[in-house]
Structure 1
Amino acid sequence: MNSIKQILYKQDIPVTSEYDVVVCGGGPSGCAAALSAKREGLKTLLIESMGQLGGMAVTGLVSHWLGGRTQEGAWVVGGLFKSLAEESASRGYAVLPQLKEGEKYHPYGWFNWFIHGIPLDPFAVDLFLDEKMEMAGVDVLLQTQFVDVITEKNTISHLIVYNRGGLQAIKTKAVIDATGNAEVAFKSGCQTIKGRKEDGKMTPASLIFHVYNVDEKALTEYIEKEKDPKLRKLITELRDKGIWNFPYDIFIATKLVEDGEFYINTNRLTGVDGTDGKSLSEGMKRGRKENQKLMEIFRKYIPGFENARVKTIAPQMGVRETRRIVGDFMLTIDDLAQDKTFDDCIGFSMYGWDLPDPEKPSVQPFANDEITGYKYKIKKGLSTPLPYRIMLPKPVENLICPGRAVSVEGQVLGPVRVMAPCMAMGEAAGMAAKQVVRKDTSFHQIDIQKLREELKAAGAIIEKEQLPPIYPRVDQT
């Protein structure tokens, strides 16, 4: 008997609302895009599949806004990111770490140049983002899944979404795809690529967990003594004894807002496809098992972790790489190696080549990992420019894709995928939507210099001349 391989399913879907712009995805780029679009006077809807805003910083528990400051703590990403970070810190929801003179190691990132991250409390930042959207007048639909699009002549007319109210159609003039997976672009028929060029394999995923009751003094003293924040020597010893049986070889734990609380980003789950439901499901289960084993090892062998306890495990997988659009322009490794300048630059990132090998989770393909992982084989400028054109998919006219799904070559995703530059891209996308809606034009045809002027007026950093002095990193030996 032949099994049925495909069925046809039809349903009348009500058109429930109409907006100038709909933002799909409530992570860093989506939140910035929604606030930016509403600031420009557009009727804006933000939809998010999880139960809170903030994306990987909140639901994924990667509770560090990375890539927005220099190692000395000066701002590389301004605009909305800077204002949100400063307000969060003023309310006790985040910390703006500062280096102390003569300090070699610090728990907010350990290496003395890793001060650009901003630790945050995800259980406060989710409420903070709710408040920001409410104050701005952005409509928000949580626990709402993007499903499909209706297009007319390379223009999206409606988005199909699903939540407890059933399938719904939302009419819109412009769409911002901040899903990180190019979900809207893919469903719209835009060209995308997934994984590395030669075989499509993607960098490992991670399932993050938070711990509390860590003895920071004991942990710091041990790291200072060993001069080894990633505990490579200890892990090698544990592997030789048959205790450490994971495919990764480094310990990653950085301090959060409260004393004694750390987020653990140690596990690296190979073979996880962030666009496949079954793969994600299996990855979540595997990640929870590994985290339990890791915690047992930490408590037994790592000074300071003897009395530590798990506070929470992320309900969302930390996926570093899936689809990327093939846009009007692709930012390449050579562009960064030559430290090129772009006349459509809308922001910068302060981050390195961070995209581990798909099959060797502790190896950065462009780095010498023997000591710190940050002695580059392929050098690039310390700051990475973000051209507007990398957000433009083809051929849909009223769609833009800020965030992790941008049009970049392989390893270039490493420095552009983290949260601060994603917010910079989101703010630019939301501001660009004003021209698309008001002038009935395409994201591909906006006045880019006008956009840059408006971004600069809003406090964004878009020119190299605006960047603070950025000094070479001082690696620990």
Structure 2
Amino acid sequence: MRIREGHDVVVVGGGTAGAIAGIAAARTGARTLLVEQYGSLGGVLTLGMSLKGVNDGEGVKALGGIGEELIERARALGGTTVVSQHPRHGSIMGQDPEAMKLTLIEMVKESGLHLLLHSFLADALVDRGSIQAVRVANKAGLEIIPAHCFVDCTGDGDLAAAAGADVVHGREADGRLQPVSAIFRVGGIDLDQTWAYLEAHPEDGEAPPGYVGDAYSVAAFRSKPGVGMAGFKSLIRKARAAGDYHIPRDDMGFNPLVGRREATINITRVHGIDGTDPDDLTRAEIETQLQILEALRFLRKYVPGFEACYVVSSPFQVGIRETRRIRGSYVLTPDDVRAGRDFDDQVARGAYPLDIHDVGQAAASAGGQVEGGGTDLSMVRRSYGIPARCLIARGVNNLVVAGRALSATHEAAGSARGQPVCMATGHAAGVIAALSARHKLPPSALDSAAIQSVLRQQKAVLRRD
């Protein structure tokens, strides 16, 4: 069995959080290896969904550092729009997934980060509470990769679980999980027709309850390239009544892509899926792909402007909202999120909405809706701090976690899983791991002021003022 030596830090998972974590660790001086199961980096960032929560609801910047650099460099390629304030999401920004993907790999190359693609975590080798090495599987067989510090950016806490860290699975009360979805892209759309329909049917624009003003008007969205909205509930009810729609979701989100006649569509939903169970994942992949086909027929038949649309791309895998989360020495709460709370040891900020998809099982109900078809989404008006304690796993001495598996409650994770928050926590985790390796200390023993100093030097946003 091959042993791949010579690294201070190993990051497992090269999605939104992991790619940034790897760059951060390398820039902080650590010899860093990033292990990724696919052939490109960025994860769900490369699906083309708009970025929500770069600013908070009052327009104050919440994301800086490497994440902001990625956005600005992609913008130079025409790949991102300016950030627009949004009455439902706080802030929103359109993006081109291919520009983001290519910019990210360029930044990786410049940083000196080493990559091991097409490789999958198989196991962790642990001795006296410390990870000595990870075992990964790839086309060549199994490899062992030792390091001083490890970063789990798998999204599912795979390394944390394998190493014996303290983890929680799903909602605390009952273990239920948010549903999974497959975000897909369609082309050949005529947005002028879509906007005209929404102007004539404002009830399908799904303005937030009690919202007064024109910021959620169709005119406002038409003036913001790449920024979309959710709604179309009446069309979904009509299609469901006609037997043309069986997806257990009551609305549809769409985001036009920058400079294209394309949009990302968020409409699929499958309940009862555990993203750590391969049989469940297989069922989810099959069901979401069949739902994409049904959604395409719905779009062509019912949604103005989509009559001639076609599928441009479907995701590399089904999107998982929730599986495992670590238990750190602090657990982020929804009160922290809503209050915009700060902490002495905060290493990142979050402003993505509290976005919780109904965990209930899908079942038909009166009125043309379905149980489990809703989404509870509320704006984060003032960004909140994320303590380093939320990124450091209990039960393992040398493990840092970033992305949606960080230490948070089921509700708070609905915000902390957002892409800009994953960028920020990935940046912090990479710096923590690099400093841990440099000083030969466990992450929990590092001085938070020293971590914050490096992050500020790298232009991360740590405080709102």
* TM-score after normalising by structure 1: 0.86
Could you tell me how far 1:382 is from its partner in structure 2? 3.4
Residue type of the alignment partner of 1:214: I
Aligned to 2:355: 354
Aligned to 2:169: 194
Residues 273 and 280 in structure 2, CA contact (< 8 A), matched pair in contact too: yes
Secondary structure at the counterpart of residue 355 of structure 1? strand
Alignment size in residue pairs: 429
Secondary structure at the counterpart of residue 262 of structure 1? strand
Q: Identity of aligned pairs, percent?
A: 31
In the alignment, structure 1 residue 449 sits paired with structure 2 residue 434: no
Counterpart-to-counterpart distance in 1, 2:121 and 2:421: 24
Could you tell me how far 1:328 is from its partner in structure 2? 1.1
In the alignment, structure 1 residue 223 sits paired with structure 2 residue 224: no
After TM superposition, the structure 1 = structure 2 runs for residues 425-440 of structure 1, keeping only pairs within 5 Å, are 425-440=425-440
Residue type of the alignment partner of 1:353: L
Residues 349 and 415 in structure 1, CA contact (< 8 A), matched pair in contact too: yes
Aligned to 2:155: 180
Could you tell me how far 1:265 is from its partner in structure 2? 0.9
Residues 48 and 96 in structure 2, CA contact (< 8 A), matched pair in contact too: no
Aligned to 2:366: none
Secondary structure at the counterpart of residue 146 of structure 1? strand
Could you tell me how far 1:32 is from its partner in structure 2? 1.0
Counterpart-to-counterpart distance in 2, 1:190 and 1:339: 28
Secondary structure at the counterpart of residue 159 of structure 1? strand
Q: Where does structure 1 lack aligned partners over 5 or more consecutive residues? A: 1-12, 100-110, 368-372, 466-477
Cα distance per residue 1:65-97 (max 9 Å; x no partner): 332124686531111111110110111223235
Counterpart-to-counterpart distance in 2, 1:439 and 1:334: 35
Residues 336 and 381 in structure 1, CA contact (< 8 A), matched pair in contact too: no
Deviates more, 1:447-456 or 1:112-121: 112-121
Secondary structure at the counterpart of residue 393 of structure 2? coil
Secondary structure at the counterpart of residue 354 of structure 2? coil
Could you tell me how far 1:434 is from its partner in structure 2? 2.6
Residues 72 and 98 in structure 1, CA contact (< 8 A), matched pair in contact too: no
Residue type of the alignment partner of 1:46: L
Secondary structure at the counterpart of residue 353 of structure 2? coil
Counterpart-to-counterpart distance in 2, 1:127 and 1:255: 20
Counterpart-to-counterpart distance in 1, 2:45 and 2:387: 24
Counterpart-to-counterpart distance in 1, 2:100 and 2:459: 22
Could you tell me how far 1:384 is from its partner in structure 2? 2.9
Deviates more, 1:311-320 or 1:227-236: 227-236
* TM-score after normalising by structure 2: 0.88
Aligned to 2:101: 126
Residue type of the alignment partner of 1:362: G
Cα distance per residue 1:227-270 (max 9 Å; x no partner): 12201122223223333222210011111123311001111111
Cα distance per residue 1:169-192 (max 9 Å; x no partner): 011111010101111110001111
Counterpart-to-counterpart distance in 1, 2:410 and 2:154: 19
Aligned to 1:330: 331
Deviates more, 1:125-134 or 1:255-264: 125-134
Counterpart-to-counterpart distance in 1, 2:350 and 2:333: 15
Residues 70 and 103 in structure 2, CA contact (< 8 A), matched pair in contact too: no
Residues 31 and 54 in structure 1, CA contact (< 8 A), matched pair in contact too: yes
Counterpart-to-counterpart distance in 2, 1:248 and 1:129: 33
Residues 72 and 113 in structure 1, CA contact (< 8 A), matched pair in contact too: no
Residue type of the alignment partner of 1:44: T
Secondary structure at the counterpart of residue 464 of structure 1? coil
Q: Where does structure 2 lack aligned partners over 5 or more consecutive residues? A: 206-230, 361-370
Residue type of the alignment partner of 1:212: G
After TM superposition, the structure 1 = structure 2 runs for residues 63-212 of structure 1, keeping only pairs within 5 Å, are 63-70=49-56, 75-98=61-84, 114=89, 116-212=91-187
Aligned to 2:241: 240
Counterpart-to-counterpart distance in 1, 2:55 and 2:96: 19
